[in-house]
Amino acid sequence: MDPGVSSLDQVLLHGLQKVLGAPDRLIALHEPEFGGNESALLQECLNSTFVSSVGKYVDQFEAMLSEFTGARHAVAVVNGTAALHIALKLAGVQVNDEVLVPAVCFVATANAVVHCGAVPHFVDSHFDNLGVDSSALAEYLQAIAEPAPQGLRNRRTGRRIAALVPMHTFGHPVDMASLLEVSERYGLPVVEDAAESLGSTYQGQHTGTFGKLGVLSFNGNKIITTGGGGAILTNDAELARHAKHLTTTAKRPHRWEFFHDEVAWNYRLPNLNAALGCAQMERLQDLLARKRELASRYLAVFENGDGIRFIAEPAGCRSNYWLNSARLEKPDMKARDRLLTVANDAGYQCRPIWTLLHKLPMYIDCPRAALPVAERLEASLINLPSSAKLASLRQ
Ligand SMILES: *Cc1c(COP(=O)(O)O)cnc(C)c1O
């Protein structure tokens, strides 16, 4: 090995090589798999000519999601961002409200807040589970917020804080019990961003089913994909009805009349994409088993890894291990970037976490809590190749 390469780099490379072997071409961060009924159902959907806004696969896909997650209702939509947009509206978020969002998050979550005319308000994460830290949040709200007639008021900005959006980072569940306690104390509706956590449970209950509403994504890089797609989960029949209505141009059912009773969106999932979703759902348990197998192999390799540690599922949780992550014991942006260079050069597609949301140009002036843990996570986390096919189970 190059004598200039530090021992951290060697720990990472040796670990990757042990788990994944030597790559003959780039081993992707995450790849979808279509080895089941995908082609058959897509062909059947084409033959039916119902490829667009109506068709049996949308209903079937929603039923499968509801059955799998235990949410009473699932409403399929065009992508996860659209699902968040409508879920936030249904949770009561209005123009000029603030919505609490982790700074460690994909940009779509903050964008969806802005699509409601509201302002993202960034909060810190927990070092172990990578999601919103409930005790830091409670302390922060104690300092900056006060009850007001219209809800919780941010003393500093005068705006209403209308909702809290915890996100289950890379599939690791947030500590929902303590978070719900805080949200209840402050009367904050919870919209769970479970875009990355289909198949992850917290104390036996599926993520995305704890809040007033929850959101899934089926983008191409997620654990299952519909090409592009998402869903809104809720146990509330009226919210589910309204979610369907708002995402399908708010058209009153009628044999021929076009009567729409509110401003709405064309956010429905096409039947063609839902057909793909049905075939992918049939494989979800198998995908989960192999992803967990891959994670256990990473865990074994990086358990005593000098300076690098694998991030295991939080206690009391089952993670889907959508993305496997390791972290530097000493957060160091330069070391992180060097490790990323070395790993990618060697053929292992590794990635950092997202640039913290408050550092993006459009969110620089948004209100935020102190974010010490988010900063540490940004400077220490590395995502490792995570496709289910990389597990030994099927080799
Ligand atoms: C993927 C993702 C989304 C958005 O989903 P799309 O389907 O890509 O719109 C939202 N939040 C998080 C945390 C995500 O990872």
Full set of structural domains in the chain with CATH: 3-32+284-392 (3.90.1150.10), 38-282 (3.40.640.10)
Ligand 1 touching residue 105 (CB < 6 A)? yes
Query: 94: pLDDT confidence band, cut at 50, 70 and 90?
Result: very high
Lowest mean pLDDT among 91-95, 235-239, 305-309, 320-324: 305-309
Q: For residue 4, is pLDDT > 60?
A: no
Residue 258 CA to ligand 1 centre (angstroms): 32
Helix (H, G, I), strand (E, B) or coil at 277: helix
Ligand 1 touching residue 226 (CB < 6 A)? no
User: Under 8 Å CB-to-CB from 94, ≥6 apart: which residues?
Assistant: 116, 117, 118, 160, 162
pLDDT of residue 257: 95
Helix (H, G, I), strand (E, B) or coil at 118: coil
Residue 30 CA to ligand 1 centre (angstroms): 15
Cβ count within 10 A of residue 94: 13
Residue 104 CA to ligand 1 centre (angstroms): 13
Percent over 70 (pLDDT), the chain: 98
Q: For residue 218, which atom of ligand 1 is closest to its CA?
A: 7
Q: For residue 54, is pLDDT > 90?
A: no
Ligand 1 touching residue 230 (CB < 6 A)? yes
Tell me the per-residue pLDDT of 5-35, one tens digit each, with 9 for 90 and over: 579 999 999 999 999 999 999 999 999 999 9
pLDDT of residue 306: 87
Nearest CA to ligand 1 atom 7: 80
pLDDT of residue 395: 42
Q: For residue 217, which atom of ligand 1 is closest to its CA?
A: 7
User: Tokens 């790849």 identify what position?
Assistant: 31
pLDDT of residue 303: 84
Q: By CB neighbour count within 10 A (0-12 exposed, 13-18 middle, 19+ buried), where does 307 fall?
A: middle
Edge-to-edge strands, sheet with 317-318: 205-206, 201-202, 317-318
DSSP 390: G
- Main-chain phi, psi angles of 267, to 5 degrees: -115, 15
Query: What is the average pLDDT value for the chain, to the nearest integer?
Result: 96
Ligand 1 touching residue 207 (CB < 6 A)? no
Residue 49 CA to ligand 1 centre (angstroms): 29
Query: Catalytic positions, please?
Result: 222
pLDDT of residue 394: 41
C-beta of residue 380 within 8 angstroms of C-beta of residue 328: yes
pLDDT of residue 243: 98
Ligand 1 touching residue 322 (CB < 6 A)? no
Tell me the per-residue pLDDT of 299-355, one tens digit each, with 9 for 90 and over: 999 987 789 999 999 999 999 999 999 999 999 999 999 999 999 999 999 999 999
